[in-house]
Amino acid sequence: MTTSTTPAVDVTTGRPEKTAPSAGRRSKRVDAITATAFVTPALIGFILFVIIPALGGLALSFFQWDLFSPPQFVGLDNIVRLFTDPDMWHALGVTALFVIMGVIPTVVLGFLLAVLVNTKLPGISVLRVFYFAPMIASAAVASVIWAALYDPRFGLVNQALSWVGINGPAWLSDTTWARPALVIMMIWGALPIVIILYLGGLQRVSDDIYAAASLDGAGAWRQLWSMTWPNVWPTTLLVTVLQAVGFVSGSFEVSLIMTNGGPLGTTQSLALYAYKVAFSDRDIGYASALSLFQLVLLGAIVLLVRLLVRIRKAYS
Amino acid sequence: MTSRTPRTRRKWVAALAVAAIIPMLAACAGNAKADGSAGTVDGSTIVLQTVNSLQPQFQKYADAYMKKYPKRKVEVRASTDDGAKYAQQLATARISGQLPDVFFNVDYLADTLAKANVPLDLASGIKDGKLGSLRIKDFAAPFVGQYRPISNPDEVTGLPVSADSVGLYWNKTLFDKYGVTEYPKADWTWDDMLRVAKEIQDKSGGKVYGLGSPLQDGSNQLVFGPVLRAFGADVYNGKTGKSDIGSPDAIKAWKLLISAYGTSSNPYSANANDPALAFSAGNVAMGIGSRAAIPGTQAALKDEWNVQSMPTINGKSTAGGGSYGLSISQTSKQQDAAWAFLKWFYSDAGMAVAQKVGGVIPPTNDGIDNGSWKDTGGKPPANIAIFGHSARTAVLLTQMPGSSGTVLTQATVKATQEVVLQHVSVEKAFQQAQDTVNAQLAKDFKKK
């Protein structure tokens, strides 16, 4: 193998050919310009609507400001207050519960539904339409609809429970049931994107391994748990991270609309608490510190997952 | 070498942070005008800001004004009905220099907005005749008093649009359907109301609620304020600067109010705005509501219904009251045009439109007594005149400094939930609520 790395030579001059490398450079330049042209609008939007407000939020966390009076610089007071504020710890606990109660069922259900949707059963195309339905309703609209479904007297949920002799609770006004009620709704809302991601993952699994497994006598469940599930591991990881972030931030609008954080703060997530501090208590500086804290937490979750992936790779 | 050093990067980050914050902070300095004369009137366009629920009638006011004065334009803008969000939007508009010329103000936000230098002081302009011959003394004093800043009661930062008070709405169709013949009377006490409400609820087998829960989710100050007052307690005492919502007298009031849940009214609901619990939904036999709910109820409820004066406690009225108003922004560049609009709106011609399209009770002494608002054109409620009387006797919403009003709402909701959902004693829950509110009041007074 001596010729493969030899540069092309101009046979008339004996010098290396200039045309090919020059074209390559030009092509790279065109690629770079094209990429920049495509990325720039999004980047401008990202800087204007994410980076600058985030930096503004960071700066505001060093001030005390009620939106009306001039802001007063308070140094790290708002950051220190975070750790001594019992309401913050309560909201953090509620957020953690949302994640714990929501992510695992979402991942498992999403996976199972994706497997079901991926099969060639009769009538499955109808199901494929239905699994997409939650995506077309905004969280605000879905929250209003679900609040009606949970109505203790007229709601469909308690009507259905009464058919099997169960006297349903006042879902959204009950300190025991309000949080699970919201989590169920959030799982419903999260499933479409999870199913779509898993469908992508499932399509990368080769049919050959199933054929081989069938020859070896593996049944459907054995194939599901021993072959499909391990093979969609990268998707599971992605889905878990996305849903953890989704349940931290997505719980905001649902709890704001359906329970306003109640009853007795059982559904008051960190994001909702920050919102109330900002716009009910008009303490913008501390609300900014709370939002910053949430951002750090989300960053920590992502880093933790990346760390776990590296450890897993190292061991495998 | 295209990569930047960490130091350069830090400089960029710092510069971006400063760039983000400086415009916001700089704008807070404001450009308030002290006098109320700016801009021309004919050929002007003013922005009239209101809330979503009032947008249709405000548009009609604007249309009537523009019809009368074709050379003047009024652009109506509407935003959220949520008071806290509305105040936030005004604050944001002020920061960006985009305050409307005339805007919807409301009693419980009036002091906050005044403190933030959003509305213009109208007192001197009215004295100088900018509203013609109309003077502040012509307005019903308690209602205009809601727009006097706590720290400077000589100023008036808004003028009430309607002298609103609450009354007892009742659905005769439901009373008759369940064989309850004791209709609400003017001399009813709260015990009468709760007793009859329970009777209807029991007779309907729970299909109908006798009364929409008076406390709602625990935040309904329009109802609990007057009830506390009737028992001898105050939500907020301006003289002492304290709240006594946990006092023994207040505890009697809370016990009465909380006793309604599930027996005379719907069970506790954390959703204060649950449409299924609204009187206009047609499955609530009685509801305590503001006069302002009449147009909506007329449109939604097909049953036969009427209104009655609020029941009394210890012989005292329990009618709460309040108002929304109109203010001119300090930073308006069209202040003369804004004054001209207010002059028309509070004239006989403007008030006639307001009564016709918005059903408002004019906030002037003459308007309450002699206004055309009592004429409902044959539609219910036949007994609408009760709102004229209760406007005179209503216990108005109390203005509280700083964030104390918000803290009060949160504290009473929390205390109500503790009692109803966790069976904490009324005494313990509301004593704690009182401590929370008084701590916030102390903080707000310290800030002043």
A42-64 burial, b if ≥16 CB within 10 A, otherwise e? Answer: eeeeeeeeeebebbbbbbbbbbb
Counting every residue, how long is chain A? 316
In a domain, A239, yes or no: yes
In a domain, A68, yes or no: no
In a domain, A65, yes or no: no
Of A60, A86, A102, the one marking the end of a domain is A60
Give the span between the Cα atoms of B10 and A144, in whole angstroms: 45
**For A155, which residue in chain B has the nearest alpha carbon?**
B276
Q: What is the DSSP letter of A152?
A: T
Q: What is the DSSP letter of A17?
A: P
Number of CB pairs < 8 Å for A and B?
97
Same domain for A140 and A37: no
- Beta strand extents in chain A (DSSP E only): 63-64, 72-73
Same domain for A157 and A12: no
What is the pLDDT averaged over residues A273-279? 90
Domains (ranges, CATH) in chain B?
45-163+323-363 (3.40.190.10), 164-321+399-447 (3.40.190.10)
Per-residue CA distances from B58 to B12, B76, B326, B344 (Å): 48, 7, 11, 14
In a domain, A291, yes or no: yes
The predicted structure's pLDDT at residue B87? 84
- Beta strand extents in A108-194 (DSSP E only): none
- Closest CB to B20 among A52, A152, A172: A52
The predicted structure's pLDDT at residue A15? 52
Q: What is the DSSP letter of B119?
A: B
Same domain for A82 and A52: no
Same domain for A83 and A166: yes
Same domain for A276 and A176: yes
| CB within 8 Å: B274 and A151 | yes
Same domain for A172 and A106: yes
Q: Which amino acid is at B428?
A: K
Instruction: Show residues of chain B in contact with A56, CB under 8 Å.
Output: 17, 20-21, 24
Same domain for A139 and A13: no
Per-residue CA distances from A284 to A250, B196, B313 (Å): 21, 48, 42
Q: Would an 8 Å CB–CB cutoff place B26 in contact with chain A?
A: no
Q: B202 with B189: CB under 8 angstroms? A: no
Q: A247 with B398: CB under 8 angstroms? A: no
Instruction: For CA atoms A176, A182, A186, A187, give the dihedral sign.
Output: positive
Question: What's the burial of A295, exposed, middle or buried (CB within 10 Å: 0-12/13-18/19+)?
Answer: middle
pLDDT by position in tens, chain B (length 448)? 334 444 444 444 444 444 444 444 434 433 444 444 556 789 999 999 999 988 998 999 999 999 999 999 999 999 988 787 888 888 888 888 889 999 999 988 898 888 888 999 999 999 999 999 999 999 988 899 999 998 888 999 999 998 889 999 999 999 999 999 999 999 999 999 999 999 999 999 988 999 999 999 999 999 999 999 999 999 999 889 999 999 999 999 999 999 999 999 999 988 777 777 889 989 999 999 988 888 889 989 999 999 999 999 999 999 999 889 999 999 999 999 999 999 999 999 999 999 888 778 999 888 888 888 888 888 999 999 999 988 888 888 777 887 888 899 999 999 999 999 999 999 999 999 999 999 999 988 876 6
Q: Kindly report the nearest CA distance between residue A309 and chain B, in angstroms.
A: 29
Is the per-residue pLDDT at A35 higher than 70? Answer: yes
Q: What is the dihedral of CA B125, B131, B137, B139, to 10 degrees?
A: -120
In a domain, A1, yes or no: yes
Q: How many domains does chain A have?
A: 2
**For A283, which residue in chain B has the nearest alpha carbon?**
B403
In a domain, A66, yes or no: no
The predicted structure's pLDDT at residue B61? 95
Q: What is the pLDDT of residues B230-275, one digit of tens each?
A: 999 999 998 899 999 999 999 999 999 999 999 999 999 887 777 7
In a domain, A42, yes or no: yes
Same domain for A92 and A154: yes
What is the pLDDT averaged over residues A163-178? 91
| CB within 8 Å: B118 and A71 | no
Of A33, A60, A87, the one marking the end of a domain is A60
The predicted structure's pLDDT at residue B448? 60
Question: Domain residues for A253?
Answer: 77-315
Q: What is the pTM of this model?
A: 0.79
Identify the bridge partners of residue A30 per DSSP, sorted by sequence position.
none
Instruction: Show residues of chain A in contact with B418, CB under 8 Å.
Output: 264
In a domain, A69, yes or no: no
Work out the pLDDT band at A157, boundaries 50, 70, 90. Answer: very high
**For A68, which residue in chain B has the nearest alpha carbon?**
B116
Closest by CA to A235, choosing from A316, A77, A115, is: A115
Structure tokens at B90: 């005004």
What is the pLDDT averaged over residues A283-303? 91
Give the span between the Cα atoms of A103 and A183, in whole angstroms: 9
Please identify which residue in the block is written with the tokens 């004019």.
B362
Same domain for A29 and A84: no
Instruction: For CA atoms A287, A293, A295, A297, give the dihedral sign.
Output: negative
Same domain for A228 and A193: yes
Largest CA distance in chain A: 95
Give the span between the Cα atoms of B265 and B283, in whole angstroms: 11
- A183: domain CATH number is 1.10.3720.10
Q: How many CB atoms lie within 10 A of CB A195?
A: 26
Same domain for A86 and A25: no
Instruction: Show residues of chain B in contact with A283, CB under 8 Å.
Output: 403
Give the span between the Cα atoms of A70 and B278, in whole angstroms: 41
Same domain for A130 and A10: no
| CB within 8 Å: A173 and B269 | yes
| CB within 8 Å: A70 and B29 | yes
